[in-house]
Every structure is written in structure tokens, then in C-alpha cells.
Amino acid sequence: MRILLLFMLLILCTGCATHSENYRRTGSPEPLRLAMLHEIEPGFSIEQVQSRLGLGEAVGKQQRGPLNRMVQKYPDDFPDGIEVDDLFFAYSYSENCSDVLQFRNNRLINFDPSFYENPDVYMIPNSLR
């Protein structure tokens, strides 16, 4: 009986995928939101984030204008500000939407998982941010 129970649990768990695995497979917004909420933590290294979400798309210095404006407009949401040497990686979930994560000294900063609790707030097109 015990062996049968273990075998059934093994079968059930092999079909389970994490939110980040679902995001990497589908590129859909809901798995990304849930991965950000449950699997990504402030202070993670770039490698820790990329091992969960994939490489992402590096945001070049010439593309940082909108990020600078967001930091200036919402300083309470970005307590660490923005510095010249910060690195940014975008994780897209539609043609017009992506989340951008900020790293300083190889550590994720200005990241609050609670932002991802409400799906209605989370899905804001890039053009409106």
C-alpha cells in the first residue's frame, strides 16, 4: 500500500510545473505574475533570477529613458533610485508589455513581490507606464 501511494505521488508531481517554468514555456502574463509573487525575492542575483525566468532581454543604456521617468515619478516605489551602472532585464509577456528588473552589484533591487498580488494593477501596457 505504501509503495502504491508513493508511486501515485510521483506521478502527480511529475506533472507539476512551477510558475516560472510555465512562464518560460508559454510567455504568458499570469505565470510571470505568479513567479514574481512567489519565486523571485529582493536581493536575488542575476543568475538566480535567470535560472527561474530565463535570460530576459538586456535593456541598454540608450533605452533607459522610460525607466528614469518612472523612478522620478514614483520615488516611493523605487527607494534605491537608479544609477548609471545598474543593469536591467526585461521579461516580456505580450507584444507590448514586459516587466523590467533592476540589478545593482549583481543584486535585484527596487523589487517588491507584493506588487504582483493584484492582477489588475500588474497588467499595465508599456506605453502607459
- Could you read off the pLDDT of 1-49 as tens digits, one per residue? 555 444 444 444 445 789 999 999 999 999 999 999 999 999 999 999 9
Give the pLDDT confidence of 3-13 residue by residue, as tens digits: 544 444 444 44
Q: CA-to-CA distance for 82 and 72, rounded, in angstroms? A: 9
Whole-angstrom Cα distance, residue 110 to residue 11?
39
**C-alpha cell of 120?**
489588475
pTM value is 0.81
Mean pLDDT, the chain, whole residue set: 85
Confidence of residue 127 (pLDDT cuts 50, 70, 90): very low
pLDDT of residue 26: 92
Q: Give the position of cell 528614469.
A: 68
Residue 119 has a pLDDT of: 82
Q: Which whole-number Å values give the CA distances from 127 to 10, 13, 66, 104, in the listed order?
A: 45, 40, 9, 25
Measure the CA–CA gap between 23 and 89, rounded to whole angstroms: 15
With 90 as the cut, is the pLDDT of residue 93 above it? no
- The answer to whether 80 and 64 have CB atoms below 8 angstroms apart is no
Cα 32 to Cα 53: distance, rounded to the nearest angstrom? 8
Which amino acid makes up residue 87?
L
Q: How far is CA 52 from CA 6, 15, 63, in A?
A: 28, 18, 24
